[in-house]
């Protein structure tokens, strides 16, 4: 019988502890802390994410029920609801934001050669945002509308492995295009965006930084065709043109030429118009790149369904950001474990397995081992007949 570490302890061994201590020291996270350290806080919140806990009281009850196993899982402080609430309220959320960036950098090296559907050597990012609704009476600092509160999660997703390389949390009323002001462009990378980010002055900044962008055009964009390239209409591309902005102010904002591609999506019976400063790639590849932008939508849907970022354990700005950044850490940690252990299951399956085996004492690889479970359907099983009607 295996008498070694718990699954939770083995999972946490993948964390770079030295980097975590550096992040804590940077913001003096353990200053005047007697027993419940930042690492204890991280373990509690990671446990809550992995087991889908509903509240601080829920976290406290579950961990105290496993009290004899906590020390060997890495916990050194006494777990209590009030202590965890105070830690979320007062300890700087930037500790966990910086640590998430450490994990993201590690994950991106692991997924560097991951295929995302288009054969390219350049790094491709999808930029988008998602709004998390909050109760105005509980979160008055996040006022969005007259009777509604919310925050916005701006995410730059690396399409190789669906790893978020940049996350910025703002109030929900901030327009998406403003995030381009804080984004540091990577030379040679391709940024795929929806038309909500169409601002020619900001796009010209990307162009001057030697980065490429791909964005949907608006119907009222004033453009002048200079000349057309030959196209293969069997690929869905209707035209591939070199254009220039024709408006007085837009010409000053973006004085260079642009490439306009019109594409017909037969599956959805929809016509799309793209603008880009990438003049080398085939027009069909440009359309395929924009189709890959949907991965960022899937990312938002996935984390909202499988991580605790819609119901919060605290109501302050610091507590909300702490919970979101630790959720990101957990997501990236599971992606790292999946790649380093070469686990074939999806992230969803891995999370479900971890949620019920965290404090079992078994080798981690054994928890993810493929099983030959099969559903046995018999002719007298009346319950399943409900789904055939």
Residue 193 lies in a domain: no
Long-range own/partner contacts, residues 193-197 (CB < 8 A, 24 or more apart) = 193/126, 193/127, 193/128, 193/293, 194/128, 194/293, 197/127
Render pLDDT for 147-157 as a digit per residue (tens, 0 to 9). 899 999 999 99
Residue 288 lies in a domain: no
Cα–Cα distances in Å, from 354 out to 8, 52, 63, 367? 8, 11, 15, 8
User: Does 347 share its domain with 268?
Assistant: no
Residue 129 lies in a domain: no
Q: Are 323 and 88 in contact (CB under 8 A)?
A: yes
Residue with tokens 């306009």: 260
User: Does 82 share its domain with 18?
Assistant: yes
User: Does 11 share its domain with 86?
Assistant: yes
User: Does 271 share its domain with 346?
Assistant: no
- Domain holding 328, by residue range, is 7-95+316-367
Residue 178 lies in a domain: no
Q: What is the pTM of this model?
A: 0.88
C-alpha span between 88 and 76 (Å, rounded): 17
C-alpha span between 341 and 9 (Å, rounded): 16
Position 164 scores a pLDDT of 92
Domain end position, chosen among 255, 275, 295: 275
Residue 243 lies in a domain: yes
User: Does 271 share its domain with 320?
Assistant: no
**Tens digit of each residue's pLDDT, the chain (389 residues):** 456 789 999 999 999 999 999 999 999 999 988 889 999 999 999 999 999 999 999 999 999 998 888 888 888 888 899 999 999 999 999 999 999 999 999 999 999 888 877 778 889 999 999 999 999 999 999 999 888 999 999 999 999 888 999 999 999 999 999 999 999 999 999 999 999 999 999 999 999 999 999 999 998 889 999 999 998 888 899 999 999 999 888 899 999 999 999 999 888 889 999 999 999 999 999 999 999 988 999 899 988 888 888 889 999 999 999 999 999 999 999 999 999 999 988 888 999 999 999 998 889 888 888 554 444 444 444 444 433 43
Work out how many domains the chain is built from and give that number. 2
Residue with tokens 């020390």: 71
Residue with tokens 């990307």: 206
* Burial of residue 204 (number of CB atoms within 10 Å: 0-12, 13-18, 19+): middle
């Amino acid at each position: 019988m295996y008498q070694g570490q718990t699954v939770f302890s083995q999972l946490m061994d993948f964390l770079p502890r030295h980097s975590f201590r550096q992040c804590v020291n940077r913001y003096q996270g353990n200053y005047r802390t007697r027993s419940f350290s930042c690492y204890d806080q991280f373990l509690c919140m990671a446990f809550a994410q992995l087991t889908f806990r509903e509240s601080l009281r829920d976290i406290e009850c579950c961990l105290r029920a496993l009290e004899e196993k906590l020390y060997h899982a890495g916990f050194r402080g006494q777990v209590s609801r009030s202590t965890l609430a105070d830690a979320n309220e007062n300890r700087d959320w930037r500790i966990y934001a910086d640590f998430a960036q450490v994990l993201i950098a590690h994950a991106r090296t692991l997924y560097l050669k991951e295929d995302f559907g288009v054969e390219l050597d350049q790094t491709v990012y999808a930029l988008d945002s998602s709004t998390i609704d909050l109760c105005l009476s509980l979160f008055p600092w996040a006022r969005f509308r007259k009777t509604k509160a919310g925050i916005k999660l701006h995410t730059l997703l690396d399409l190789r492995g669906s790893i978020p390389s940049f996350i910025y949390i703002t109030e929900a009323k901030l327009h998406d295009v403003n995030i381009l002001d804080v984004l540091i462009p990577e030379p040679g990378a391709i940024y795929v965006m929806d038309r909500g980010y169409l601002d020619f002055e900001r796009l010209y900044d990307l162009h001057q930084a030697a980065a490429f962008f791909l964005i949907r055009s608006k119907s009222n964009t004033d453009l002048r065709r200079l000349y057309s390239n030959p196209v293969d209409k069997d690929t869905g591309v209707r035209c591939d043109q070199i254009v220039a902005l024709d408006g007085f102010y837009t010409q000053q904002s973006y004085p260079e030429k642009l490439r306009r591609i019109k594409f017909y999506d037969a599956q959805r019976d929809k016509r799309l118009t793209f603008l880009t400063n990438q003049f080398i790639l085939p027009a069909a590849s440009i359309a395929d790149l924009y189709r890959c932008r949907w991965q960022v939508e899937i990312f938002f849907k996935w984390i909202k369904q499988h991580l605790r970022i819609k119901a919060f354990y605290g109501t302050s700005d610091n507590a909300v950001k702490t919970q979101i950044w630790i959720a990101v850490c957990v997501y990236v940690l599971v992606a790292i474990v999946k790649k380093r252990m070469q686990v074939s299951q999806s992230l969803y399956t891995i999370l479900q397995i971890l949620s019920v085996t965290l404090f079992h004492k078994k080798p981690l690889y054994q928890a993810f081992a493929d099983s030959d479970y099969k559903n046995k359907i018999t002719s007298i099983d009346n319950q399943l007949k409900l789904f055939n009607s």
